[in-house]
Amino acid sequence: MAVGKGILAGLALLALGGCNGASGKKDEAVQAGLSDDHFVQAGEDYFRDMDNGVRLTPAEARGRNMWLVWSGGNDRFWDGMTKPTLGGFDLLKIVAPDPRSPNRRGNRWYQLGLVNEPCFKAPAKVDSYGLWRDERDPACPPDPFADAARYPGVAIGARGKTVPVGSYYGEPSGILGLRLFPNPDFDEKAKARWSAARYYADPRYYNDPKLVRPYRVGMSCGFCHVGPSPVHPPRDPENPTFADLNSTVGAQYMWVDRLFFWNPNERNYMYQLVKTYRPGAMDTSLVSTDNINNPRTMNAVYSLGDRLTAARQLGHEALKSGERDNMQFNMFTNSAALTRYFEAPDQVWTPHVLKDGSDAVGALGALNRVYLNIGLYSEEWLTHFNPVVGGKPITPIRIAVARKNSAYWRATEKGTLDTALFFLKAARPDRLADAPGGAAHLGTPEAVAHGRDVFAVTCARCHSSKQPQAPAGVSLADSAGPGYMSRFKAWWKWTQGPDFQQKMKALAARPDFANGNYFSTDVRIPVTLLRTNLCSPLATNALAGNIWDNFSSSSYKALPSVGRSSYRDPFTGAALAYAMPAGGRGYTRVPSLVSLWSTAPFLLNNSVGPFNGDPSVSGRMAVFDASIKAMLWPEKRPRDEEVPNAGGVIDRTTTRSYLFVPSSLLPKLPGKLDDEAQKALAQLTNSNGDIEVGPIPAGMPVNLLASLQPLAESRSPADITRHYGRVLILLAKLKAAILSVPKGADDAALRVHFSNLRGSLMALNKCPDFVVNRGHYFGTAAFNDQEGLTADERAFGTEPVLRDEDKRALISYLKSL
């Protein structure tokens, strides 16, 4: 949630302290004397009706189970997330809400966008700890994964004493992807102090960092990837059957802001920040923060086999050092279909999974990294950064260290091949023609044929994995690394000419064109061509020496700068330029158009198009129609009301807000504050004893504070000292401005009051581009608008502008994919 994303990191660090520790910590399983052999992945085909009823082999069923119920000990991590989120986040309040809460079962789908697990119903009474947990329908068979005899959990702490040991899969919570585990810290002392009534009603009690809850909540990958099936949608989204659900479509309806703030308060600036996360989008650098507010859509997994084929053509990368510690298919199987993506010791052909194209070490490496990012082996992971708040230099987590000290990590490495096999079998396209009533939304054969030709000339160069043979020296194959931009520019120029366009039209006209087509090249496109928001291409977590160093390739780390990108001043709309750094930043990998009709809104942050929360075919089509029109007629996209010439929407605070730090989360200092510090603290403390920083006026760009850079990226001592000096000066200015707010000032007056800080705030902003719904103007007049563009952007030339009838035909073709 990015409490520390921005200049407020300094205050949050005061409240929370540093997060330091020696590397090489042992995980809970190893501490309990267990090895990875203890954690056998379950083989029961319990979810057999999901994923359109696809029939799975035993290995594939194990892979689906792992995706949906394996959390790898991350219940330890999620239990600790209340403190760095300043009391805002508590998964136990999501799975066991107060019965008066809008988040309860029966309203959970439309309120939170979370998938209610079949075989459960709303609770009629509290459980043995006084919590309102969903109750299992007695007509359903038992959940097989909760069988503690077959899958005995980790006996550590109070488990087996005050609480049961349980299963290493935990118990089902009533929400798919969230599992309940007995809390090993819930000893006799914690039990005596526990009060469910106060947990629901008393902020002083439930915000106490020393509070021990009876359960910890673990999260599987499925939590962010399960959703209603586009071709078998539920009649009632609040009460789906397993047949209505799909494991890989992505949680595109999840209200992440409401999930991370179980008790929303618009006066809390942190809630204003997470409100910039549109449904279905979240910041994947949320915990290991890079100090950029950067919500991105949760990936759908479609056509993995076709994607791997595309990777073999264009996804060649080289690995060095710790990158080579990633598991590859060859280490588990002799299947010729899977062993061709790695050549020992250091050559891979890999999909690019994350939006910035940084996951580039092989498909299994990408899968394994996900488990770390949702809290597996948190004993070690959290020693490399300050979670959420930042403010501490990030260091890489090493695969070799995880393999040595974490039984959970080793068990995960053993299991993800089965998950990949499951994807290969089950992650099939959801065609509109196969959806109930879908045929009524399809275009005529003539419109589709016309649209196919338009697609071939305008879109297919990026959005088709079937491509004409490029001339020598032009192909993007084997191009990753320092020479990538020169190869890309040559390739792009070729695609603008008649040779490519004629061959591509002929290829697209073949009756088998859609068969085996991933409808993406999966290559990295420079932001100077896309002209989308700069924040995702500026992400830093996969750079050399950063947290995901071992999970990004040397080829990625050697990518050159894309040049200077244009953006708009968020206060005046004036055109400005940003010099994109080299070393991996500046690119966005091409999304697939498979099942595009079911995945709107569009762009990597779901900012183009409306949201209606309706997963029916008609509901999806209503959103698709509005969203695709906004993509192809960009003049239909909303504009910022305060700065219309900024080129799009700027996320702004909706009301006057404050940064709150509950007094229960403030540390006990070893000594007494001096008089000046005592005075400053008194001025920042409200009547409840909580720190309250503000007021932050309504209408302020959220990212003005949320993407400020508290840390110097340079390793130079002089640069670090200089940067910290600038941050301290800005903190002092900000403090003085807050303390001198005119009494009774309205929001307009507050914005004027803080206006002299704009320059200082923007100078330290890690992503100064605040317009979230701009870019991807291909086929439109907006692409050829040269006003405000940099020379690097103009170098890509102009593009033919599609006529309205061409755009409508293209939409007909896209709906058929």
Instruction: Find the mean pLDDT for residues 461-470.
Output: 97
Handedness of CA 460, 466, 469, 470 (dihedral sign): positive
Tell which residue, 559, 554, 565, 550, has the closest CA to residue 585.
559
Exposed, middle or buried: residue 674 (CB in 10 Å: 0-12, 13-18, 19+)? exposed
pLDDT at 677: 54
Q: Higher pLDDT residue, 106 or 677?
A: 106
Residue 428 has pLDDT above 60, yes or no: yes
pLDDT at 743: 86
Orientation angle between helical segments 407-426 and 58-69, nearest 10 degrees: 120
Exposed, middle or buried: residue 382 (CB in 10 Å: 0-12, 13-18, 19+)? buried
The string of pLDDT tens digits covering residues 721-758 is: 777 677 767 767 777 787 788 888 999 998 888 888 89
Ramachandran region of residue 430, left (φ > 0), alpha (ψ -120 to 50) or beta? beta
Question: The tokens of 28 are what?
Answer: 């809970």
Residues in CB range of 216: below 8 A, 6 or more apart: 75, 76, 78, 79, 180, 181, 182, 183
Give the bridge partners for 178, in sequence order: 219
Question: The tokens of 274 are what?
Answer: 């997470």
CB atoms within 10 A of CB 717: 9
Residue 14 has pLDDT above 60, yes or no: no
Tell which residue, 494, 356, 370, 473, has the closest CA to residue 71.
370
Residue 469 has pLDDT above 70, yes or no: yes
Q: Higher pLDDT residue, 716 or 760?
A: 760
Contact by Cβ (8 Å): 803, 457: no
The string of pLDDT tens digits covering residues 321-338 is: 999 999 999 999 999 889
Residue 761 has pLDDT above 70, yes or no: yes
Instruction: Find the mean pLDDT for residues 351-373.
Output: 95
pLDDT range class, residue 89, cuts 50, 70, 90: confident
Residue 528 has pLDDT above 70, yes or no: yes
Residue 811 has pLDDT above 50, yes or no: yes
Ramachandran region of residue 726, left (φ > 0), alpha (ψ -120 to 50) or beta? alpha
Q: What does the angle CA 674 – CA 85 – CA 292 come to, to the nearest 5 degrees?
A: 95
- What secondary structure, in 3-state letters, does 522-551 show? CCEEEHHHHCCCCCHHHCCCCCCCCCCHHH
**Average pLDDT, rounded, for the chain:** 91
Which CATH class, in words, describes the domain spanning 432-617+770-815? Answer: mainly alpha
Tell which residue, 636, 596, 654, has the closest CA to residue 814.
596
Contact by Cβ (8 Å): 272, 266: yes
pLDDT at 679: 64
Contact by Cβ (8 Å): 115, 244: no
**Hey, what's the torsion of the CAs at 259, 264, 266, 268, to 10 degrees?**
-90
Residue 287 has pLDDT above 90, yes or no: no
Instruction: Find the mean pLDDT for residues 153-169.
Output: 98
Go through the chain and tell me how many residues it has: 817
- Map residue 691 onto helix, strand or coil: strand
H or E segment at 291? none
The runs of H, that is alpha helices, within 230-362 are 256-260, 269-274, 304-314, 336-339
Question: The tokens of 793 are what?
Answer: 């952007």
Residue 631 has pLDDT above 80, yes or no: yes
What is the Cα–Cα distance from 91 to 69, expressed in whole angstroms?
A: 16
What is the Cα–Cα distance from 43 to 41, expressed in whole angstroms?
A: 7
pLDDT at 678: 65
Residue 260 has pLDDT above 90, yes or no: no
**pTM score:** 0.93
Q: What is the DSSP letter of 1?
A: -
Residue 217 has pLDDT above 50, yes or no: yes
Tell which residue, 537, 529, 520, has the closest CA to residue 314.
520
pLDDT at 668: 55
Residue-range domain boundaries for the chain: 24-297, 304-426, 432-617+770-815, 657-763
Question: The tokens of 720 are what?
Answer: 């670090």
